[in-house]
Structure 1
Amino acid sequence: MHYILLQDSSWATFIGRFHPAIVHFPIGFLLIGALLELGRRWGKVAVSESVIVFILLLSAVSATFACAAGYLLSLSGGYDANLLNNHMWKGIGVAVFAWMAWAVKSDNLQRIMPSEKVIYLPAFIIATVLTLSTGHDGGSLTHGEGYLTQYTPEPFRGLAGLPPMQQKPTEIKPITDVQQAIVYTDIVQPILEAKCTQCHSASKSKGDLRMDQLALLAKGGENGPAFVAGKGAESDMIKRCLLPENEDEHMPPKGKPQLTADQIALLSWWIDQGAPADKKVAQLTVSEAVKPALASLGKEAPANAENAKEPAVLSLKVPKANDEAIENLRKTGLIVSTLSQDQNLLEISAVNLPGFSDKQMELLQPVAQQITWLKLGGTAITDAALPQIAKFPNVSKLHLEHTVITDNGIVSLKPLAHLGYINIVDTKVGDKGLKAIADMKALRSVYVWQSAVTDSAVSQIGRKNPDLLVMNGFNEATVAQFVKAGDTGDKKELKNK
């Protein structure tokens, strides 16, 4: 039995995960008991000593169970050893002193050892103080060191001797020159800091994995290496991001800020390039598929990008998509993200599924109403897929870049009443196709570089449709403007809805 208790197992983890729930009982009982004892001594509360004794017994019993469950939870690993050790012994102290306070307060024990009554109050006070300190350590173990004091405001911060407040990054800062950016330092590390290091750092290393330093990330954790250099699709850190959000192995965990499709694409690209520590973007091979994601890291888009009309899709509300249908999509490798909980709108991306074909389009039918952003760039779809896309009534952003679609297929998209953004870079779409969609009521941005569209057609359409932005040249500034105007801005508005 002793051997089993010292080993991590499914039973140990199952029981251990009740620790966060059980631990609230001794906290509550001890604090209530302390308040009642204080009120009784001040003559403010009429409560019998038997009630205090009963509360102390509940405190001691629940603290003991919390210690046992906490020990079993600690076997799963991933916690700072010193902090865990302090938390454990303080928790044991709570249980020990709670039992002492109860034993001394008990009438039967007082008859046997009346002199022991003097240790009742000190034991009660120590148990209560330890409860507060243990709770602080527990919060640090669960959420990272300094979790409870992280947002202490001034002047209390200075009085407590805490260092100046440092905001944890939540977004990648704009990069002045993307081509000269060091991929790991300027792109990868900020993504990891914003989305991963809360659970994988020096203060908390779930699964014995740390992601705050490249050497430790390469070392991996209890499940092996986090990534396989040169093989992004086979790397555990990428595969876990692509799992359904409700699965236990999905990372980041459900409820935590999730990586965007662009962020996953950038991490996967970095790994594909060998996960270099000090190389710049210009020194690596940049695929067409990852160029928009890189460009979106540049300086903020010009102000005129913010003056576009609010897409009508922002006022839509559709039924919630079937959970099973979403899970089936994710199992194929598609990235499915909820853009707005209130509106039930979805983004579906095949950024990591280049083999996605016309036959697989039928998988999207169950969520036809919910799709508003559809990213099929770099896939194997043909013109045959476009009539099926036209049956998704609420599509507002459509990525078809680096596919073999032509004028014959693009015409099929005219029924899409909310389509405001379309990317047909490096396709066979020409002047005929562009002219066919240029009059679509909601269309505001079309990206056509490296397609069959001519400059003269772009100029002609620009004069005829002054509200339509047609971009037919590649540079980081224009791509960043296009991506931010077509994706980032609307995403913020959708989330605020």
Structure 2
Amino acid sequence: MLYNTAFFLNGLLVFFLVFEDRLVTPGWMYLVGRFHPLVLHFPLVVLLLFAGWVIVVEKPGSNRWHAGLADTLLLTGTLTAAVAALSGFVLSQEDGYEADAIFFHKWLGIGVSLGSLAWYAIPVRRTPWNFSAKAVAVVFILVTMAAGHLGGNLTHGNDFLIPAAGEKARVALEDAQVYRDLVQPVLQQKCYPCHNADKAKGGLQMHTRELLAKGGENGIPWDTTQADLGLLLRRVHLPANDKKHMPPRGKAQLTEDEVVLLTAWIKSGSGFDGKVSELPRESPLYSYAQAVLRTGSAEDMYAFKAADASRVAALNTNYRIVKPLAPESPALVVNFYNRAAFKNSDISDLLPVGDQVISMDLSKMPVGDEDLKTIARFSRLRKLLLNFTDIKGNTLSELKKLPFLKELALSGTAVTATHLKTLEEIPSLRDVYLWSTPLSADEFAHLKKSKKIRYESGFRSDTVVIALNAPTVENQEQILTGGTRIRLSHRIPGAEIRYNLDGTVPDSAVSAVYSGPIAISQNTKLVARAFRAGWLGSAPVERFFIKANYRADSVHLISPPDAKFKGKGGKTLSDGIRSITLPNSGDWLGYRDTDFQSDLFFRKPVKVSSVTLSMLQNLNRFIFPPARLEVWGGANPDSLALLKVIRPAMPKKMVPGNEDFLLEAGFEPRLLGCIRVIAKPVGKLPAWHPKKGEKGWVFVDEVIIN
């Protein structure tokens, strides 16, 4: 019974393969497919055990070989391999898998299922000591491991088992880039497994900057004009049990710090080339960088020995905390509290662990210039915070004794430009903070000319100039029919909206000023910005609008669409709504075995000069532009004349994801009561396509008439 069941399941699998292009997968079947990662491991282990057993049996009659147990083991593997292969086949029908990436895994998995069935049926398995049986076992092990490896790549990424270039070395903080060294590693760990070149869930690939910015089927990942900052963070913040939550349940989730990182990066403009050193020190991005990046210099590897733990514990008081920089680190950081309880000896008391102290925060303590002589004895200090202390700067030269000092904070002190000159003689010093000091604007300007030290003066102006939000495009529809016009608005009173209709970015001088709804006479790319005195101009907002002068009074589909892609029938072509760019959205008319042919009728003849088809392209799913487009017209279906023939250019290589496009046929204006549109699918896919020679699909969702 088990063998016959396995035989039936393999027969069903072969049937599915033969008719794969015509299969309609109901939604509930995808649940079966998603069990594939759960069930596949059992047959892998059982079949590998059996194959290994065959290899180690060396002679007839060996007491290592138990024929009954071996039969049971192989039969169990055969049956479960068929179940795993069937569930994997169903899973492969979901969107998001690249044809090239899944091709070999699918066929190797099917080979394991059919091969194990054949192995059980042939006599050679009963004589495992023969060379032929052992050769079959070796081949079977290799095929099974190859199938498993390719499946692992699909799930976890190509470098899951063997990283492409080893572990990436951490860079110095001053050399780090925000995207490359902070954001990309998070995306690589938490997002790439489902959004890469081989597996693009939702049509989104994130492994290159260009594809990440392009977005997927549901749009671009971020939008700073929205309150939730767009799709990426919206999915991250969904409840964990929501099926759209990202990363999916069962995958490694983003930490709170990583969510803050992505939020701050998007708010800052989601740039790809900015450096960490250019960020404000109060930025969450800079704080994250400090937490995850090493400085990269030899002295920050902290080769010195740790201080005695009991001695460190004894130095902690209610007003002073001494603790390791990180678990297992020999470096110590010191923080002081309670100005009233502070004594100068509180600093010198730390000298027994002075060789381990690398950071000291004395902010708001009554520390004077004389105390700098004591502080200078902590020779391994990297970071010294003296904000709002009694420092005047007379003894700043003492700090030249600190060979590793990189960061010095003197905000709120009475230091002068003359005293600060001595800081240039500290070779390691990189950052000096001077907020709320008596230095003049000219003195700061002179200091900032330094090529060695970055002097941070903080906010020193009595006005704030920030950018306006982008204008709002109120039209929800993309296809404008009749007298429908484009409507814009802005939430800040007095903001002036300027726009261009040619796709270029408007400026505040010559671009048209929005004074009321905008009429268009053709397909138009609107770009608008907001301006107001005392504000920076907003980022541009872009929308593409399609002009449709006429809507057909009735539509007749001469050729019915494929049963899997029948949209809303003839209404699909004239409802004035562009479908979302998903083949399975239920809004597209799909044709493969027949030409798309449709008549559009008007009660009264209309003057027409162009007919435009709204179409879909997904090369991975065989959806191509039509091989030939014909537009016919006349008073009625019996008096049609050929008005235009177009042979669109075909793609030259595989382009991932879905893309909607317009195919326009223009001709001399004429009065028409009936228009017939014919689009012929590609008869044979090109040689570069994995399914070369097979038929292509044509997908249509709207016929636009002008």
3-state secondary structure, aligned to 1:72: helix
Q: CA deviation at 1:136?
A: 1.9
- 1:59 — aligned with what? 77
RMSD value, Cα: 5.5
Alignment partner of 1:19 is 2:15: no
Alignment partner of 1:201 is 2:196: yes
Q: Decide whether aligned partners of structure 1 residues 437 and 253 sit closer, same or farther in structure 2, where only a CA change above 3 A counts.
A: farther
Q: Decide whether aligned partners of structure 1 residues 481 and 125 sit closer, same or farther in structure 2, where only a CA change above 3 A counts.
A: same
- Structure 2 alignment gaps of length 5 or more: 1-15, 127-131, 326-335, 351-356, 389-404, 410-427, 431-706
Deviation larger for 39-48 or 215-224:
39-48
The sequence identity of aligned pairs, in percent, is 26
TM-score (structure 2 length as normaliser): 0.38
- 1:138 — aligned with what? 151
Alignment partner of 1:70 is 2:88: yes
- 1:104 — aligned with what? 122
3-state secondary structure, aligned to 1:101: helix
Matches within 5 A, 1:42-441: 42-43=59-60, 44-45=62-63, 47=65, 49=67, 51-105=69-123, 127-148=140-161, 150=162, 166-169=165-168, 172-177=170-175, 181=177, 183-185=178-180, 187-193=182-188, 196-221=191-216, 224-229=219-224, 234-238=229-233, 249-251=245-247, 256=252, 261=257, 263-279=258-274, 288-294=283-289, 297=293, 299-300=295-296, 303=299, 433-436=338-341
Q: 2:36·2:87 contact (CA, 8 Å) conserved in 1?
A: yes
Q: Decide whether aligned partners of structure 1 residues 66 and 292 sit closer, same or farther in structure 2, where only a CA change above 3 A counts.
A: closer
Q: CA deviation at 1:140?
A: 1.8
Q: Decide whether aligned partners of structure 1 residues 265 and 26 sit closer, same or farther in structure 2, where only a CA change above 3 A counts.
A: closer
Q: 2:51·2:140 contact (CA, 8 Å) conserved in 1?
A: no
Letter in 1 for 2:45: G
Q: CA deviation at 1:214?
A: 1.7
Q: 1:33·1:56 contact (CA, 8 Å) conserved in 2?
A: yes
Q: Decide whether aligned partners of structure 1 residues 131 and 294 sit closer, same or farther in structure 2, where only a CA change above 3 A counts.
A: closer
3-state secondary structure, aligned to 2:207: coil
- 1:472 — aligned with what? 386
Q: CA deviation at 1:204?
A: 4.2
- 2:367 — aligned with what? 457
- 1:486 — aligned with what? none
3-state secondary structure, aligned to 1:457: coil
Q: Decide whether aligned partners of structure 1 residues 268 and 478 sit closer, same or farther in structure 2, where only a CA change above 3 A counts.
A: farther
3-state secondary structure, aligned to 2:195: coil
Q: Decide whether aligned partners of structure 1 residues 40 and 187 sit closer, same or farther in structure 2, where only a CA change above 3 A counts.
A: closer
Letter in 1 for 2:37: P
Q: CA deviation at 1:173?
A: 1.9
Query: Could you tell me how far apart the structure 1 residues matched to 2:24 and 2:308 are?
Result: 60
Query: Could you tell me how far apart the structure 2 residues matched to 1:310 and 1:17 are?
Result: 55
Q: CA deviation at 1:67?
A: 0.9
Which whole-Å deviations, capped at 9, do the CAs of 1:301-341 have from their partners, x for residues lacking one?
895895786889x99xxxxxxxxxxxxxxxxxxxxxxxxxx
Query: Could you tell me how far apart the structure 2 residues matched to 1:260 and 1:221 are?
Result: 25
Deviation larger for 54-63 or 287-296:
287-296
Query: Could you tell me how far apart the structure 2 residues matched to 1:256 and 1:457 are?
Result: 47
Q: 1:231·1:272 contact (CA, 8 Å) conserved in 2?
A: no
Letter in 1 for 2:149: H
Q: Decide whether aligned partners of structure 1 residues 27 and 185 sit closer, same or farther in structure 2, where only a CA change above 3 A counts.
A: closer
Q: CA deviation at 1:73?
A: 3.2
Q: Decide whether aligned partners of structure 1 residues 146 and 124 sit closer, same or farther in structure 2, where only a CA change above 3 A counts.
A: same
Q: CA deviation at 1:91?
A: 1.2
Larger relative contact order (Cα-Cα within 8 Å, sequence gap ≥ 6): 1
Alignment partner of 1:33 is 2:81: no
Q: 1:8·1:76 contact (CA, 8 Å) conserved in 2?
A: no
Q: CA deviation at 1:65?
A: 0.3
Q: 1:101·1:121 contact (CA, 8 Å) conserved in 2?
A: no
3-state secondary structure, aligned to 1:97: helix
Structure with the larger strand share:
2
Q: 1:31·1:128 contact (CA, 8 Å) conserved in 2?
A: yes
Structure with the larger helix share:
1
Q: 1:196·1:252 contact (CA, 8 Å) conserved in 2?
A: no
Q: Decide whether aligned partners of structure 1 residues 292 and 123 sit closer, same or farther in structure 2, where only a CA change above 3 A counts.
A: closer
Q: CA deviation at 1:55?
A: 3.5
Which whole-Å deviations, capped at 9, do the CAs of 1:201-247 have from their partners, x for residues lacking one?
32444554322212211233455432224669534444566678898
Q: Decide whether aligned partners of structure 1 residues 101 and 481 sit closer, same or farther in structure 2, where only a CA change above 3 A counts.
A: farther
Query: Could you tell me how far apart the structure 1 residues matched to 2:207 and 2:408 are?
Result: 33
Q: Decide whether aligned partners of structure 1 residues 30 and 303 sit closer, same or farther in structure 2, where only a CA change above 3 A counts.
A: closer
Q: CA deviation at 1:167?
A: 0.8
Letter in 1 for 2:76: L
3-state secondary structure, aligned to 2:47: helix
Q: CA deviation at 1:283?
A: 7.2
- 1:402 — aligned with what? none
Query: Could you tell me how far apart the structure 2 residues matched to 1:242 and 1:436 are?
Result: 45
Q: CA deviation at 1:278?
A: 3.9
Deviation larger for 433-442 or 87-96:
433-442
Of the two, which has the highest radius of gyration?
A: 2
- Structure 1 alignment gaps of length 5 or more: 111-118, 152-164, 316-395, 397-413, 423-430, 483-497
Letter in 2 for 1:84: I
TM-score (structure 1 length as normaliser): 0.51
3-state secondary structure, aligned to 1:218: helix
- 2:570 — aligned with what? none
Q: CA deviation at 1:99?
A: 1.8
